[in-house]
């Protein structure tokens, strides 16, 4: 029997591709670090920033990533 998830107020399920990308990035380094692992992590962030900017027709420098809704709302205000 398939179950349907209705609690999207708390969290939403991830698409398989998004989950795979997130898991691949976990365990990486601090993207602010200058060592090779940090530069690789920064490249992942900047690639994502460019893709989001392209999706919404924005300049990549205008795209900010936050840790969640509360931080995003505070940034918007």
Dump pLDDT digits (tens) for 2-36. 888 787 777 778 889 988 888 888 777 888 999 99
Examine residue 3 and state whether it is found in any structural domain, yes or no: no
Question: What's the pLDDT at 67?
Answer: 85
CB-side exposure of 33: number of CA atoms within 13 Å? 9
Q: Is residue 8 part of a domain?
A: no
Whole-prediction pTM: 0.71
The domain in which residue 48 lies consists of 16-76
Under DSSP, the state recorded for 68 is S
Confirm whether 29 is domain-assigned.
Answer: yes
What is the tally of structural domains in the chain? 1
Whether 2 is in a domain gets the answer: no
């Amino acid at each position: 029997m398939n179950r349907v998830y209705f609690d999207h107020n708390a969290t939403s399920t991830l698409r398989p591709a998004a989950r795979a990308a997130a898991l691949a990035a976990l365990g990486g380094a601090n993207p602010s670090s200058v060592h090779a692992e940090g530069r690789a992590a920064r490249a992942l962030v900047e690639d994502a920033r460019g893709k989001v900017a392209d999706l919404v027709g924005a300049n990549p420098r205008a795209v900010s990533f936050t840790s969640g809704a509360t931080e995003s709302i505070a940034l918007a205000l």
